[in-house]
Every structure is written in C-alpha cells, then in structure tokens.
Chains A and B, each alone.
Chain A
C-alpha cells in the first residue's frame, strides 16, 4: 500500500469501516512508514477533538402556540394502539368471513354527475346513450378496476368457500357484462383517439376473462388466476391511459340471498344497508369516498376502525382508508394502513394495473405468486417506475427469484417473488 492510498483510508479506518484486508494492509503500512504514522496520529487527534466539540447549552425556550400539540393537524391519528399481530390474526379470520359475504360491488358515479345515495348499486353504471368521451373513458376505467377487484376477490376466496359465496361473486361478474359498454364504445370510437384500440381490445377480450374467472371459481382457481388477470387485464394497459376509477367494494352479511331475484335486487340496490350503527358508521365513511372527499373519508374510516375493531368490515375499512390516502397521494399513510391488511393467504398481485393491490404488496414486502407461468416478470429482471400513476415519491423495483416451493405437496409449486422498495432520491425528505 502506498502512502496516498493509506491516507485515503484514514476516514474509514477511524470509523472502523475498513474491510479486514484493507485494515491489515493499512496497519502494515503504518507500522513501516513514519510519515504516515505521524499523519495518522494528527488526523486522529483532530477528529477526536472535532467529535468532542459541543455547543453551549443555553437555548431559547420553545414558545408554544396556544393550541395543544397536533390540534390543527388534520391528518388522522396514527394507528399505534392496535397491535399489528392482533390485527393480522383477527383480519385473517375476519377477511375470510367477510369475503364469503361479499354482496355488493358498487361503482361510484362520475364527478360530473349528481351524487347518488350511498350503497346504491348502479346496475346501469356502464350504460347510457350519447356519452361524452370523457364519461365513457371514466366508465371504462371503472370497469377495468371493477374487474380487477373482482378478480382479486375471487383469489381471496378460500378453497372451501360455500357455493353461495361463489354464486355471489359470479353474479357480480355477470353484472359487469360489457354489452352496453360496447354500444357506448361504438358511438364514441371516433372521439377516443389512441385509446380506441386499447378499449376495443379490452372489451373484446373481457368475456374470455370472465369465463376464465368463472372457471377459477368452479375449479382450482389459483394456478390460472394470475395468468388470467395479467394477460387479460394488465396487458390492456388501460391504467396508463385512463384516470383511476372510483370503485368501491362494500360488504356486510344481510341474510338476503342472491339466488332469489327479488332479494338479489335488494342486495344490489343497497336498500338493506344502514340497519346497524356499525354499518351506518361504515357507510358514512363510504359516502365521503363516493363524493371524492378522500381525506375526510380516510379519517372517517379510521374512526370506524377505532370504534369497531371487531367488525368484519374492518379489513374493508382499512383497505378503503388506504385507497383514500392513495388517491390524494399520501403514500406514506396509505402504506402504513395497508401494512395492517392481511389476507390470510398469498396475495396475487396484478402488476401495473392494481395500485392498491400493489400497495399491500409493497407494505408486506414479499408475496408468493402462485402458479408456474409468469412470463411477464422474468426471473432476475428489475423494473422501476411502477408507481408512476401513484403521484407519490415511491418508486418500486423488484427482482424475481425462481424458487420452487410446495412441490412435494402436489400443489404445483410456485414462484417466490422478492420485492425491494426504494424511494426516489431525496423525495422522502423533500415531501415532509
């Protein structure tokens, strides 16, 4: 080691940050070079002195404002009183219960429309004559999101879910029929520009997707689900073109059966909502979301979750709270809430086209993608910029390791995906 190299190492040597080889080499050099040894001694003394420098203790006392600390902070209170482990254990059970009772799949109205009643299922959400292109785009976007959510809902269904639970989901799938949307599409096609091709592709392939999802419901759904979702929905790339939809999923057992047409209508019309204080409280938060008052919605969902920690609506409340934060770009808050969600089974992730699913995914840091075929994400690849539409200083990069698991149990094995999240340089600090 020459003298210059030795001196270049001084800082790391001082902080004991040199690797053993470099440290030994430097020790050897200092042992034989008087000049460097002297330099090192002075260096050590100078920085020992620097590290001992302290400011004089006098400091102006803090002049506190009149209000109490945090009184004007409109952010919701942090979720510090809930044990994550408890939430996880509870939500694993609760989600399974809730999912089996998922009854309403609801679509928010467009901003330029008059507000509807809470819980109203807009069976005609995707119908309408002479729609403006902007409205059509929004409905199409809603449709994509609704399909995504439904696909995730199917994935979350336990293998031994009741026929009724599966039937409910299937009914929702039918309600998403694209026939009327196609009519609107044809009317609007000339005004849609570059979107037209993508929209046509999506609408043409939707029935195939729905059929795949129905198969998933009937049979062993997991292995085909990821492929189906990715190929049919994600590849539509609509998320890059369309604004995020405001799709809301509500759930509460009502004792009504979807099999009875009259009752099913009531289920989907939401007439039966509001029967208990718990549901009322949930819907109050829900209404704020429908009205795009996202911050108020997030606070209301937080209030609901604090008040009714045992409700089976808790996971949905947390989910929508995270979604509300996401909509206004409060990524940190959204992540914090999403990190409390647990679905009791590996969460399938619709990469690129499922912001909140991705959010949960990010919060959990790792996920198992069940299924062999996963050609969209090549092993060892890294991708960035997944959260471009997220309007938040989060960028995600992931690497995929091929790691077989579960083979010995005859379940087909799978791919373990390891995710690392990073922030854009400096973004975290600047947003404070």
Chain B
C-alpha cells in the first residue's frame, strides 16, 4: 500500500499517490470552486498536507475517501474564507452564444473536441448555479463516478442524503441544460 509506505517516509510512494490521484482531485476541486487556477493551488495544498502529515490518515479507512474529504474541506475553506462567489468558467465572451446543437449532443463522443469543450463550458456554468451542497454531491457522484457510500463518507452525511441531493442536483442541472439546448435549437432554426 502506497499510503503505508508514505507513512514510513517513502518519497516514491508519495510520487505514486500524486500521479494516481492528483488529476482526479484537481478535477473535483475545479468543479467545486469553479476556478482552474485555484483548483490547481488547492491540489498542491492538499498534497503538501499529505506530504507533511501523512500520519493524519487512519490506515483503517480508505485512502480515496479520506483524500477527497481533505480536498473537499480545502474547497469549503477556500469558498468560505475568500467569500468569493463561484465564478462560472467561460461566463462572458462567447459563453453567451449557445452553439451546441441537440443533434451534436446525441452524437456526442468524448473525442469530439469542440462538443467536449462546449459541454465543459456549459456544465461549469450550470454547476456555478447549484448550491455548494448539491454541487459537491453532483461532482462526486455524477462527474467523478463515486459510489453513494463513498460520497457519504467524504461528505460526512447519510447515504440517503447523498441520494436525494444527487437527484435534486441532477434535476436542476438537467432543467438548466435543457433551457440552453432549447435556446440553441431556436437559434439553429433561425
């Protein structure tokens, strides 16, 4: 186990953990705080904490939920302390110009860069409108694919709460996204 080796001061183990989890964590934090640079800084902060205090991890628990919990706390602290609103990425500029066709979505494939980029942009915009509580569940489960149980551990709430928050978050996201698709369709028809 990498984490156990890290607790013994193994630098290679740390590198292994960074390689394996930093991308996912940064992605999670970016969705949570809505700012790529901040997410990058927070990722560094989380891993610095891990580097300096590996023994704050309880080996009886699961590393993945623990590190996500640390990341989540870092995000909440940042949002709270800076008192900054979540700024949707891509807001302003061409962000107000819906160009993604419903047909494009139907044919969506991850490699289609333009659609991907558009969807990213829209998603962050919609995410910015969700409350913190809904957004964190949404990002953990719907984006990161985490199980309800793990998300409950990360957040520190019952599984049922995760389920209902996720349902509400998806609903809000879906309704908002549909509005955008409708607007896009109308534009396409003009």
* Bound-complex Cα distance A111 to B109 (A): 70
Tell me, yes or no, whether B63 is within 8 Å of chain A by CB. Answer: no
Find out whether the CB atom of A427 lies under 8 angstroms from the CB atom of B40.
Answer: no
Contact of A60 among B13, B44, B119 (CB under 8 A): B44
Find out whether the CB atom of A47 lies under 8 angstroms from the CB atom of B123.
Answer: no
Q: How far is the CB of A82 from chain B (nearest CB, A)?
A: 12
Q: Which residues of A contact B (CB under 8 A)?
A: 7-8, 10-12, 14-15, 17, 42-43, 45-47, 49-55, 57, 59-60, 62-65, 67-73, 75-78, 80, 332, 336, 339, 423, 425-430, 432
* Bound-complex Cα distance A428 to B152 (A): 12
Contact of A15 among B10, B56, B148, B173 (CB under 8 A): B148
Find out whether the CB atom of B44 lies under 8 angstroms from the CB atom of A423.
Answer: no
Tell me, yes or no, whether B186 is within 8 Å of chain A by CB. Answer: no
Given contacts A11-B166, A42-B178, A77-B7, contact A59 B22 (CB under 8 A): yes
Q: Which residues of B contact A (CB under 8 A)?
A: 4, 6-11, 13-14, 18, 22-23, 26-27, 30, 40, 43-44, 47-48, 51-56, 58-60, 66, 69-70, 72-73, 105-106, 108, 110, 116, 119-120, 123, 141-143, 145, 148, 154-157, 163, 166-167, 170-171, 173-174, 177-178
Taking CB atoms, residues of chain A closer than 8 Å to B72 are 429
Find out whether the CB atom of A51 lies under 8 angstroms from the CB atom of B9.
Answer: no
Taking CB atoms, residues of chain B closer than 8 Å to A339 are 60
* Bound-complex Cα distance A64 to B18 (A): 11
Find out whether the CB atom of A59 lies under 8 angstroms from the CB atom of B4.
Answer: no
Find out whether the CB atom of B52 lies under 8 angstroms from the CB atom of A72.
Answer: yes
Residue in A closest to B138 when the chains form the complex, CB atoms: A50
Contact of B9 among A47, A53, A68 (CB under 8 A): A68
Find out whether the CB atom of B110 lies under 8 angstroms from the CB atom of A73.
Answer: no
How many interface contacts (CB-CB < 8 Å) are there between A and B?
Answer: 146
Find out whether the CB atom of B105 lies under 8 angstroms from the CB atom of A73.
Answer: no
Residue in B closest to A332 when the chains form the complex, CB atoms: B58
A sample of 17 more A-B contacts (CB under 8 A), given A42-B178, A45-B108, A336-B58, is: A8-B167, A8-B171, A12-B167, A14-B170, A17-B148, A50-B142, A52-B110, A54-B110, A65-B48, A68-B9, A70-B9, A77-B8, A78-B4, A78-B59, A339-B60, A425-B156, A428-B156
Find out whether the CB atom of B177 lies under 8 angstroms from the CB atom of A75.
Answer: no
Find out whether the CB atom of A45 lies under 8 angstroms from the CB atom of B105.
Answer: yes
Taking CB atoms, residues of chain B closer than 8 Å to A12 are 163, 167
Q: How far is the CB of A115 from chain B (nearest CB, A)?
A: 30
Find out whether the CB atom of B40 lies under 8 angstroms from the CB atom of A78.
Answer: no
Find out whether the CB atom of A59 lies under 8 angstroms from the CB atom of B43.
Answer: yes
Contact of B119 among A53, A64, A70, A76 (CB under 8 A): A53
Find out whether the CB atom of A11 lies under 8 angstroms from the CB atom of B51.
Answer: no
